[in-house]
Chains A and B, each alone.
Chain A
């Protein structure tokens, strides 16, 4: 990079966040400071059952803030769920939005927040930078260490008509405050811990090799990769160990700060396509695609991938580049399988005749724009075939 005569402009945007055990109890204070009097609390039934919602509403009510709970959110949040939440928000004269959960409730909450201050339907805001008015105050309490929606400018909404997950990418939907509390992650089951962990790893790798990366994001990305490779299996093995959970939460935060600013690549482009078409869990899709995309991209940014391999602890610091590629491919594949994500796309209901359509949708996904190696639908189809 030092020999570059001209460097592209780069920006870094991150929300205010509080990191650490018990951060969720800060919510009453922050909400009050943002002027909230009645919040729409977007979550899902699992989180309610785990008891995290009660912690949050108690904290809010201690500051005299009422909560209207909207928990009818499913994985890969649907456009109509956004509209239901919006109705509840308006009917109850809510003035701010709180999201507790993984990527789905947070993305749904972002959709509701967009429409609370902007007219029309959620489809009017698909794409990049389409939001003109600021959203109402928004506070996130992430419960999975994966999506990083609590710090990112992304919201992914499932367009049920087209059966495609649509990305909304805008600085307007970076939340105001994120309260990152490792304790709430302890309620995640093994497989979810695995999927979200690999999702975070994908964020870090794609951000690092993205053509929108910058020195600031690079640091977070490499740190996240290293932290995940060291802790993911331990966290899965000892789910209640707050130390490993904290590490994974931190890694997820770092990956989120990186990809929110550097953007992503082909893995996410295809994962969005798959998730929209077959309603597959997002982390699982990423996990099944990551090693194949790394392989496809490797020669476009070989030196960067060498750093990735180093961060993942592959050794071969000065090794021949082809060997590094093989080693990296093997390392990622091994990590996935050790985490318990077995099999491939075929066993998850993806048919060979779906691949053309999936590739076409992926080609249109904005995440592909920052992929280090340009890819056409035919390239993407070949990758998908490899992941079968």
Chain B
């Protein structure tokens, strides 16, 4: 047969042109394609196509399925669907969608699937699908309607998003951690873009300014509330910004405005963040409120200053007291001489008076420096206040009204009533001086509690617990802050030269410290000043008053053997002479070892021991321990200019029967020895 594609009409000579010849061939059924069309090639193509689709479906990582619209029976499902839902295909084709997904089948989905004309043609949801083998995985299922040849169907896609969920959770967790750090840092933190606009800011910074994130985000950093009304700082920030944008750093102290318009000191820094190419993409700004830190630093400097001054004063005072002791003792002895004329007696009286004044001044020096001996016994602070107020009211003018409101229900503290009384009197005199034309002084007490955080932050060494607050308020001229900062400094005074020692409030301070308490002061110009003193409250034992005045003043002639131990030869001889003049026999020892030896030999005859605490080699305390070992009932009187361990009274020291405070005179010596020997 002639190929119709090749021009060839040799068989039809001349009758019909060749193209018509081909057409004729076709009409009579002899053309290349002139045959009845067969479905088989098309079916085969279609089958191949179906095979391809089937493998596409089965190779797909996502699940693909079709369910009947009405009864939700599975019609088709690929391998991934079977794996994700946890059923074999044959099993699945016997099941219904709402049955397989029973756990996640909510009313919203039910509603949607029952309305083919639902407003949304798609419905997507996620679920944590529990497989029949009890494992679970997160699935995302999308459903949509498709129009089939016969009935409409629901077409579904299942995607395993377990990994996505896991990553998402990790990201969330990481974000939480970062946010926790970021927002809870003490630092103010923020991030600026390269135009200087604030794009991220932490809660600490926002809380400080008392503003919302939206109020500051995307604002130029220097226009934010932290720098309101600080044009110099705004200018400095712009300069720092330019420097950091060029890769530099900035760190300096600056004032910030915080909530309420208050100024705080901030340790500020700005630092560029670079991308991989070394270009600046962000700038980190940080700040830390160092107001408290600075305050504490100042207080630390103050207390160190006081401490060193105290050591200096204490060291001098110790020797000075010994010297004064000798002078007082020698004068007392001279006065016993009846042959002195009245002029000589008068001169000796002047020496005695000056020595006493010198001794008091020394005591004050020691007092603020905490070198002074502190009696530590339970006392009623209210009683002390009442005593002090009584004294004050006698010594100040009627222009001043003194009022008390001792409202605290508890008032027992451990302390030294003399020092406390002294402190109150000091405050009273201070108040008087601040009210030249008279006014009101109010002393009140109340209870309060300090927790551990407060104690930790305090400049004073406080222990958590209940405290009594002693408030001392005047209606005077008040003090400006620069003076307030210095009032507890030793030798700081605003009074005219010679009118004040500058030790009054310094002593108050050291008294408070030695009582493990705290002091605060608030002052307003022309309104007055208020001192708050805090002392740790003790359980109420009932106050024990020590009566220093109970002993007889009569200079009766006594008898007995006294062992006098002192390393100072002058002190030793003066005291020995005073004791002998009282009728006592005296045996001396110049150090601890000698004292022990003497006591060991004469323990049956020695009635009392006067023992100096501060001695080279063997200390007073060790000596005392040894003597008590020889004779537990030994009567030992401690003598000292100061005692570093005064407020840490040891078991040994507490066994002393008396205490002589150097410099002591005849009177004190007599009382102490009489008391010991009786």
Contacts and interface: CB of A to CB of B under 8 A. Distances in A.
Chains A and B come from one and the same complex: yes
Interface stretch (A96-104, A167-175, A344-352): A167-175
B654 interface: no
B30 A9 contact: yes
A129 B28 contact: no
Contacts of A135: 37
Interface in B1-47: 1, 11, 15-16, 20, 23-24, 26-31, 33-39, 42
Given A8-B11, A134-B39, A263-B27, A369 B33 contact: no
B23 A369 contact: yes
Nearest to A154: B27
B617 interface: no
B36 A13 contact: yes
B394 interface: no
A303 interface: no
Interface string A113-154: 000010000000000110111110000000000000000010
Q: How large is the interface on A (under 10, 10 to 19, 20 to 34, 35 or more residues)?
A: 20 to 34
B212 interface: no
Contact of B38 (A93, A134, A153): A134
B398 interface: no
Nearest to A12: B29
B37 A128 contact: no
A85 interface: no
B29 A171 contact: yes
Most buried by A among B30, B31, B33, B37: B37
Contacts of B23: 128, 366, 369
Contacts of B26: 128-129, 169
Nearest to A176: B36
A343 to B, nearest CB: 32
Interface string A359-388: 000000010011000100000000000000
The B interface, classified by DSSP as helix, strand, loop or mixed, is loop
Interface string A1-35: 00000001111110000000000000000000000
A263 B34 contact: no
Nearest to A367: B27
A374 B27 CA distance: 16
B37 A131 contact: yes
Interface residues of B, number: 23
Contact of A370 (B11, B28, B34): B28
A174 B38 CA distance: 12
A369 B20 contact: yes
Contacts of B33: 129, 132
Given A8-B11, A9-B1, A370 B42 contact: no
A369 B29 contact: no
A11 B30 contact: yes
A224 B39 CA distance: 33
A57 B260 CA distance: 92
B149 interface: yes
B16 A369 contact: yes
A246 to B, nearest CB: 28
Nearest to A174: B36
Given A171-B29, A261-B29, A369 B24 contact: yes
B569 to A, nearest CB: 132
A11 B31 CA distance: 10
18 contacts: A8-B30, A9-B1, A12-B29, A13-B35, A93-B149, A128-B23, A128-B31, A129-B33, A133-B42, A135-B37, A169-B26, A169-B27, A174-B36, A212-B28, A261-B29, A263-B27, A369-B20, A374-B15
